[in-house]
Structure 1
Amino acid sequence: MNPVTLPDAEWFDLAPPGGGVPWRIFLARPQGEAPAAGFPALFMLDANAGFATFAEVLRRGAVRPQATGIAPMMLVGIGYPEGDDARVRRHVDYTAGPGAEDSARPTGGRDAFLAFIEQVLKPHLAARFPLDPARQTLFGHSLAGWFTLDVMTRNSAAFRSYVAVSPSIWWDEARLVEGLALARKRPPRLSMLVGEWEQALAPWQALRPEAGEMAARRARRAMVDRARGFADRAAAAFGPAAEVRFELMAGEDHASILPSAMARALRFALA
């Protein structure tokens, strides 16, 4: 079998200073000459699960930017080497501590992970590519969406724009709300997207054997209500100088929303 490769893409492993467990970094490089300030960049979390899809959405959209609203930019995916238990590592990286539905998995690596992005990954990329530090976006889905919102509230200068898709606000909603009250120098840009069927069963799920358990979990987590409520709180906290968008995506659930949200995320990042 011949492997399929992505044009203008690469990956490498990058570890924190002094060694330690590395992260796997995926890059989709833009074509053409960089703008004077450098290319904008979108940093995608959980890259093992969707980087190729995101890169293709970007590549195809950038062919006709006048029609799509998508222009060349750097796509940076952050994931994990093969053999690592990504579910365990992401549970550590994306959380500041135990959540509302705590499990036996370890938590609390949020600060170390953000430090890696800010102090290791970004300087590494800046040394290789002309990137615009004023046009960088953080993109996260599910628990990575919770991390995205937490960075926005407590370290808002890390990125200019934030895209949280189906964010697991239920994990620790109190911390996110508390973060909105913290002082910040510049109101960030925020886009929140959640699927229509994330708080109730979709028609094709209603007859599944586990339908009752699924319905109870979705009602408890209240993904749609929490996302809409947090967007309202963020708009009120940041004031008219901020740009806060909320979109309920028809026909999508927690899994299917991701490909549908990618083009919207790219347009928001480039706006």
Structure 2
Amino acid sequence: MSTMISATSPVLLPDTEAFDLAPASHGAGGAARGWRIFRSIPRGPAPEDGFPVIYMLDANAGFASFHEAMARAARRPSATGVSEAVIVGIGYREGEDIRTRRAFDFTAGPSREAAPAHPERASLHGGRDAFLGFIETTLKPAIAARVAVDPARQTLFGHSLAGWFTLDVMTRVPAAFAAYVAVSPSIWWDEARLMEGLAGMEGLARTKGPPPRLALMVGEWEEALAPWQADRPEAAEMAARRAQRAMVARARAFAAQAAVTLGPAARVRFDRMAGEDHASILPAAMTRALRFALEQGHGRAAFP
């Protein structure tokens, strides 16, 4: 006999928790309001060195899917290459203007597209330093206080504009994370800054310690119209915008340059994922991202 439940009863996500967190000293922008943090809770004891941690941006849009992908794959690590890890999602509270806040948090300034035509929008962007400071000085210690973590196996994962932030952190503060996964990164937002940062990493391979590992993934249909979009009224506008932003070409070129800059010991991977567009790629990329984040050791660049 089935049991009736209220139509408003929420569906709970097992082995997770959520809490709000803000820096002790509030800065400009969204820091005073803080962030909604989502965390997966490991089901077993921590390894001797602690759990690997994957920090996921835009958590409101994908934490549940990412957590479930990890939980499912970790049941058979020998088959999937995915072991138990802690996923930390960084998002925003209900009722907040997520689009506005993420555009501030993930950027160092306005996009190269908009800056000349809309100088009045400059104040809507540029929160990158404060956001990274929150991650490094407030969030990471808070997670370490809740669960044993391996500081040498931490990954930053971002999609779209959060992917731009992920690449920017790697090129400017490479030691912040051991691995970086950028899915459909909006390199067009400020490609010049990313390339400047990448050039500044020259010689990193000659310093002590391994270079950061990098994976870039982009959908087949991010630079041209997908077959199911060809008949839409706005198809011509979409096609022009995608051609201008050149998501696939820019991601491929960035990965190739990163492989050269970081040297032969680096692990750099580029995947052009067949059949995916900017929206559909996110769940499809999650298991690949987990496998890359949790693999041990380093290898040569891979461009399948």
TM-score range, shorter chain: over 0.9
Higher gyration radius (CA): 2
SS in 2 for 1:265: helix
Structure 2 counterpart of 1:118: 136
- State the Cα deviation string for residues 26-63 of structure 1 (Å, max 9, x = none): 00111111111000010000000011111110111111
- State the Cα deviation string for residues 197-252 of structure 1 (Å, max 9, x = none): 00000000000011001000000000000000000110011011111000000000
Structure 1 counterpart of 2:154: 136
Distance 1:260 1:67 in 2: 18
Number of positions where the alignment pairs a residue of Structure 1 with one of Structure 2:
271
Return 5+ residue gaps in structure 1 as ranges: none
Q: Comparing 173-182 with 161-170, which one deviates more in the overlay?
A: 173-182
Q: 1:226 aligns with which of 220, 225, 250?
A: 250
TM-score, normalised via structure 1 length: 0.98
TM-score, normalised via structure 2 length: 0.87
- State the Cα deviation string for residues 89-142 of structure 1 (Å, max 9, x = none): 100110011211225371000000000000000011111110000000000000
Q: Comparing 218-227 with 60-69, which one deviates more in the overlay?
A: 60-69
2:10 partner amino acid: P
Q: Offset of 1:181 from its aligned partner?
A: 1.8
Distance 2:182 2:41 in 1: 23
Q: Comparing 11-20 with 153-162, which one deviates more in the overlay?
A: 11-20
Return 5+ residue gaps in structure 2 as ranges: 1-6, 27-31, 296-304
1:35 aligns with 2:51: no
Seq. identity, %: 68
SS in 1 for 2:222: coil
Q: 1:269 aligns with which of 293, 297, 303?
A: 293
SS in 2 for 1:164: strand
1:17 aligns with 2:35: no
SS in 2 for 1:70: coil
SS in 2 for 1:197: helix
Distance 2:10 2:71 in 1: 19
Q: Comparing 10-19 with 220-229, which one deviates more in the overlay?
A: 10-19
Distance 1:181 1:200 in 2: 29
What's the C-alpha RMSD, in Å, of the aligned pairs? 1.0
Structure 1 counterpart of 2:62: 50
Q: 1:161 aligns with which of 159, 166, 179?
A: 179
Structure 2 counterpart of 1:83: 95
1:44 partner amino acid: M
